[in-house]
Structure 1
Amino acid sequence: MITEPLRSLAREVGISCEWTDAHGNPASLDESALRAVLAALDLPAGTDSQIRDSLAQARQFRQDADDGPFLICHAQQPIDLRGRLAAGSRCHITLEDGHQHSLEVDANGYLPPLPCGYHQVQSGEQQLLLACAPHAALSVAELTGGRRHIWGLSAQVYSLRRTGDGGLGDTAALESLALNAAHKGADALAISPLHAMFTSRPEQYSPYSPSSRSLFNILHAAPAQVLGAEIVERATHECDLQCDLQALEESVLIDWPAVSALRLRLLRQLHADFSQAPDTLQDDFRRFRAAGGIRLEQHCCHEALQQHQLNQNLSGDWREWPAPLRDPNSPEVAEFARQYTSELDFHAFCQWLIARCLSRVQSQCRNAGMAIGLIADMAVGADPSGSFGWSHQQELLSQVSIGAPPDMLNRDGQNWGVAAFSPIGLKRSGYRAFIEMLRANLAHAGGIRIDHIMGLQRLWIIPEGANAQDGAYLNYPPDDFLRLLALESWRHRALIIGEDLGTVPEGLQEALAERNILGMRVLLFEQQDGELPPPTQWSDRALATSTTHDLPPLAGWQSGRDIAWREHVGQSSAEQADLDRRQRSKEVQILREALQREGLLGEEKNPQAQLDASIRFLGCTPAPLVLIPLEDILGATEQPSLPGSGDMHPNWRRRWPQPATQMLDAPTAARRLDDLHEARLTCERNTHHG
């Protein structure tokens, strides 16, 4: 039983002692797990004295954070400055657009309303930064000129294929797919995360465990899009890469280490030749690097330092480096940067290439008629040993990782091995790292999908070395996050999507809907009490989709391909697999009956016909956005990732056999897209007539 002093400490820190689990049952934290989590947060609670000291420390940290110079408030409403500035204080206001005003705090302690944006307030020696947010993010209707029912595709970028790609999907293949999708009526193309990875650790390639969520994966750049085909061809010949690139291109699965080695060789040659590039390109690179500021420089320095350590057979994990190198602002790090100027310049050059490539793809999407264009995917966390962890140590919790408690899909829980934000550290820094991530991911996209958006309200944190089930929920300030999301949506004119699948805390989905943040409704998860609700009963405040990257495509779901994989990798026994197959047969029949009830499917039992009907079914829902993965458009059976399977399943390695230029033109794929497009138009017409 948890004592009251220990419970008080948990409340102050934001740890939940009770919650509702994935089955809807009450769950509670035991005392030993709570003490372990508190210890991992540097708040020892082994004795009554330690609890008292930790409680006092936690309260002081929270007070300091609440009194910080960053304030999030609603735009166009009076701003509460009580406790910060005295009534009658004169304030010099510099709005985000540069306009300046002189205002006075009224007798009740309020400043007059200000427009949306980040505004500087100075009163005497005191300075504040106000984040004045709109009530809600921009909706699909606001972004499309009034249309309420649009559709798009989702794609794993690494899996795309084009002639000459050297074995890995890139932005040139992405552009081809986007233009073809736009031609067929798509308004959006949701893509897998393109976060910066580790150039010195190519064996770590999961897009959901990056080095930084504020920079990009340079391996996905198609340099010819920026530098021109002639320059890239010359560099390829200079490095004598043609044969190796061709061999990798012909592989069925991606060989990440081999692809990484060859692409880095090509990128280094392009960097060496860049001094001969046109002045316009060199000037653009210099402007890009200057605009990137310390965020870009520290990432480049981390990349160079990590490789330097590995070259000396030392650890690549910055947490094991000598103390001076663990501090990105130390004189020793500055000296390293001076000594290795060219290496930092190389990494900045690569970031410039991928950023300009993505910018081109988004421009092409919009020019081709897409209302949204690319929808970026922002992972729930980053590898703590990466550049983001190195640069943002005060804003991250160093001794815990993020995961999930036991649920229906993972009976032992999950440990994702990525770092969690410190609620107090974020607030003290003015949410610097969070805002930085949003801006980076929205810079070249018309929308963003936030993985595991429940993390804006609470995260399951696991002490270092503990099992996933021995974690606890740490609560975060969701209102602050949601206001910042709304503000960045307004600033970038972007759609915000939140992946709200799994154990969702009470009230979160309603809060998302109120702020125009689209949740996700997945066909495979919508069956309730032995039936699938008709399309008209689906939410009009969430996107609708057939499946996700962690689930089987519909054809694989119908055949039980995922069940066979889980048995193969040891996640379930033969007996459990048999039970799962019997349950799956019932679920497939429920889907079939729902499709027949809607007049979308006849008596035929062809799985592809049921897939066709399922796509039409989703198109008939009132969802503002319907996203269909390429796997379902093409009738594939294999899923991109099987969580928890390690190397026994080819996670993030599958490649499409056909080029991106041809994927959507195959007769079956084209017919499915036509059906989806017509269903969405029908929804739109019915809305207007209604």
Structure 2
Amino acid sequence: MNTAPTAPGTSRLDLARLQALAQAHRIGTSFSGWDRQPHDVAPETLVKIIAGLGVKAGTDELLDAALEDAELAPWRRMLPPAVVGRAGTETLVPVHVRHGEPVRLWIEAEDGGRHHPVQRDLWVNPRLVDGVLTGRATFELPRDLPLGWHVLHAASGDRHTKATLVVVPQRLTTAAPLEQRRGWGLAAQLYSVRSKRSWGIGDFADLADLAALGGGHGADFVLVNPLHAAEPAPPLQPSPYSPSTRRFFNPLYLRIEAVPELAYLKRKLRRQVDELAKQVHPLNLDAGKLDRDTAYAAKLEALELLYAVERSPARQQSFEAFRAQQGSGLEDFALWSALREELGPEDPFWQDFGGPASVAAEQARARLADRVGFHCWLQWLCDEQLESAQRAATAAGMRLGVVHDLAVGADLASADAWTLRPVLVPGMSVGAPPDMYNQQGQDWSQPPWHPQRLAEAGYAPLRDMLRTVLRHAGGVRVDHILGLFRLWWVPEGNAPGDGAYVYYDHEALVGILALEAERAGAVVIGEDLGTVEPWVRDYLAERGILGTSILWFESDDAGAPLPPEAYRALCLASVNTHDLPPTAGYLAGEHVRLRDQLGLLNRALTDEQALHEEALAAVLDLVRRRGLLPADTGRLPDGQVIEALYRLLAQSPSVLLGVSLVDAVGERRAQNQPGTRDEYPNWRVPLADAEGDAVLIEDLAGDARFGSLLAAVEESLRRRQPA
């Protein structure tokens, strides 16, 4: 018998049966490593991940029982935990009852209508389940069901059960207008984009002004970093991709002067607010490193004063309606925020308080009612100011307006990890396997969705998150969209490379994403860079979801730069990404020198520079062959080269073109250096020009470089619109 060693204290397991159990739970038993060779997942890792799903398999006896349970699990349920089907297509639902007993199915539609599935003549042999002979009936759902969230009922004898039924679009239609007329927009890290009125950090009012400026030049959108909430008080996690929740927004971005209650603040208190603003305004001109903590501390002090102002009846009614609409999700997040304030970041209170519905949590909810209200109020203000920013964007002529960014997950000690604990997996973290960029693998310290429990929750946590993000948006970029298909799970205590892929029901997850985007009228952009199987990109395109193309990464099978005409049409194409330096820095090889200084190179500096120069020369040669740059090889101004690169990009069929704001002002520093934490000021780099001076919103309108690049993109794109 082929056996495998397991964790200390367990027997040696039959490897074939262990792998069969893993596959039954959609856990990959092998993966392609950085050397592009297949590697088996360690048996101990499989046992840990299976245990994370709530299944014990540490002994042969437990393994046998778990295999039988996996096989019988669907037969033990009258209905599946949730059903997700595409509108207008065949959707079959298995129903399990005592063999020979009749069963009725009906649907309560979201609009109050009632529909009746039809039983299909599909024979499946009955089987003995826990001593009961159980049969399977198969029903086909009506193909004319409306899009939306419905309830599927089943009744047999004295048994009645129900399940969430989600009817999703066959294809997201929101990108169709872009196929008729392509568009472009600005991509910016909002916190870095400041104005004279900012409090040291770019805010929602700055977003509205940036959108208005871009719209005036013909832009259709402004894509920003994730605006998810971080900690409720300083110190703040600088990475927008490691939030405390993906559903709610960061009050750091509030513009204090845009809060209506400021007008009714008593004179003495108003002077306090003005003094706070005066203290942080000098930060706007600091081009060195952003100071989130100082900025947020000042804003919180001002917001405390504004929260105490009596709201008008209309304002109070609006606030109460917002709380009611957002429901328990908002209240639980606000409770987490209040507890985190009270107990501090080092106190793992979630271990003592259980979930938000525990007795201890309910007692804290009553004791901290005012602070819970305060944090709900902050989210209401965020909602108001985001609505104002989107309104300003569309008023400026943008077809999409604000496009949000959705992070992969939230931190292990986050609000989401506490409030969503029933549908997350404890003891697991999401990451990436070893690859050519990081041969040790990556651990992102974010708990993954539990596939089965998320379905049993009717996918409501996913739906609610998407609805909040899309509430005042024209689109959303989904970071690492491959995570809707599979995620690399790393068990607690394991090295990042010692994990396994766990596969998700992508038909359900992508379908729900498409449904909520369709209802919001929003475009979806999937970040599908890196190693992504071709069928995944084809599938996303079939569902109407855009992909992502980066100029530097687009190459043919021989490694030569891909002609822009060969780019995908349903795609957001851009020259660079936030994990690389701006184009001016990339042209100068800044990223190579920085990685060498930080000890991140796997080759000698001279070898890495030679490879970079070779790849760069190939791209610039393509630009010259297209007549976008002079044929001579002399040194040209960065601005001229950057405009040529964007003109090249405009020759692609991609329906959206992203213009990095940093490229429009000459910035050279990267926002993020992968593989570092404190060694580099990740996510703390303010917007600056080629000379290193801070660039404010007010500077952009008269900035010749900004205007020239945007005009070049607009002109190039308009000349190449589809016939």
Q: TM-score normalised to the size of structure 1? A: 0.92
CA change 1:233–1:631 in 2 (3 A) is farther
User: Is the Cα–Cα contact under 8 Å of residues 65 and 428 in structure 1 kept in the other structure?
Assistant: no
User: Is the Cα–Cα contact under 8 Å of residues 65 and 424 in structure 1 kept in the other structure?
Assistant: no
Amino acid at match of 1:241: L
Equivalence for 2:472: 444
Q: Tell me which of 530, 533, 551 is aligned to 2:562.
A: 533
| Higher relative contact order structure (alpha carbons within 8 Å, sequence separation ≥ 6) | 1
* 1:114-146 CA-partner distances (Å, limit 9, x unpaired): 12122234455443432111111124224x5x6
Correspondence 1:109-508 to 2 at 5 A: 109-113=139-143, 114-122=145-153, 125-142=160-177, 147-227=180-260, 230=263, 235=269, 237-239=271-273, 240-252=275-287, 253-273=289-309, 275=310, 277-310=311-344, 315-320=346-351, 322=352, 325-508=353-536
**TM-superposed deviation, 1:383:** 0.8
Equivalence for 1:641: 672
**TM-superposed deviation, 1:608:** 3.1
Counting aligned pairs with the same residue, the percent is: 31
**TM-superposed deviation, 1:92:** 5.6
**TM-superposed deviation, 1:104:** 5.5
Correspondence 1:10-49 to 2 at 5 A: 10-21=22-33, 24-49=36-61
Distance, in Å, in 2 between the alignment partners of 1:476 and 1:186 is 36
User: Is the Cα–Cα contact under 8 Å of residues 172 and 518 in structure 2 kept in the other structure?
Assistant: yes
* 1:7-51 CA-partner distances (Å, limit 9, x unpaired): 111101222122334665434323344344445555454432332
Q: Tell me which of 674, 677, 682 is aligned to 2:714.
A: 677
* 1:412-446 CA-partner distances (Å, limit 9, x unpaired): 22111111111111111111221122111111111
Equivalence for 1:558: 587
Distance, in Å, in 1 between the alignment partners of 2:391 and 2:236 is 32
Correspondence 1:507-518 to 2 at 5 A: 507-518=535-546
Correspondence 1:573-612 to 2 at 5 A: 576-602=604-630, 603=632, 604-606=634-636, 607-612=638-643
CA change 1:413–1:78 in 2 (3 A) is closer
Unaligned runs of 5+ in 1: none
**TM-superposed deviation, 1:168:** 0.7
Amino acid at match of 2:663: D
User: Is the Cα–Cα contact under 8 Å of residues 87 and 105 in structure 1 kept in the other structure?
Assistant: no
**TM-superposed deviation, 1:156:** 0.5
CA change 1:184–1:211 in 2 (3 A) is same
Distance, in Å, in 1 between the alignment partners of 2:591 and 2:265 is 41
Amino acid at match of 1:172: A
Q: What do you get for the CA RMSD once the two structures are aligned? A: 2.5
CA change 1:261–1:527 in 2 (3 A) is same
* 1:350-406 CA-partner distances (Å, limit 9, x unpaired): 000011111111122122211111111000010121111111112111111111112
SS in 2 for 1:193: coil
User: Is the Cα–Cα contact under 8 Å of residues 76 and 96 in structure 2 kept in the other structure?
Assistant: no
User: Is the Cα–Cα contact under 8 Å of residues 211 and 383 in structure 1 kept in the other structure?
Assistant: yes
User: Is the Cα–Cα contact under 8 Å of residues 317 and 386 in structure 1 kept in the other structure?
Assistant: no
SS in 2 for 1:205: coil
**TM-superposed deviation, 1:649:** 0.9
**TM-superposed deviation, 1:505:** 3.5
SS in 1 for 2:609: helix
Equivalence for 1:75: 87
SS in 2 for 1:267: helix
Distance, in Å, in 1 between the alignment partners of 2:341 and 2:278 is 27
Who wins on radius of gyration, i.e. which is larger?
Answer: 2
Amino acid at match of 2:109: L
SS in 2 for 1:601: coil
User: Is the Cα–Cα contact under 8 Å of residues 261 and 306 in structure 2 kept in the other structure?
Assistant: no
CA change 1:394–1:181 in 2 (3 A) is same
**TM-superposed deviation, 1:625:** 0.7
**TM-superposed deviation, 1:532:** 1.2
**TM-superposed deviation, 1:634:** 2.0
* 1:577-633 CA-partner distances (Å, limit 9, x unpaired): 222111001011001111011111112432332211101111111001111211122
User: Is the Cα–Cα contact under 8 Å of residues 158 and 169 in structure 1 kept in the other structure?
Assistant: yes
User: Is the Cα–Cα contact under 8 Å of residues 584 and 642 in structure 2 kept in the other structure?
Assistant: yes
User: Is the Cα–Cα contact under 8 Å of residues 190 and 374 in structure 1 kept in the other structure?
Assistant: yes
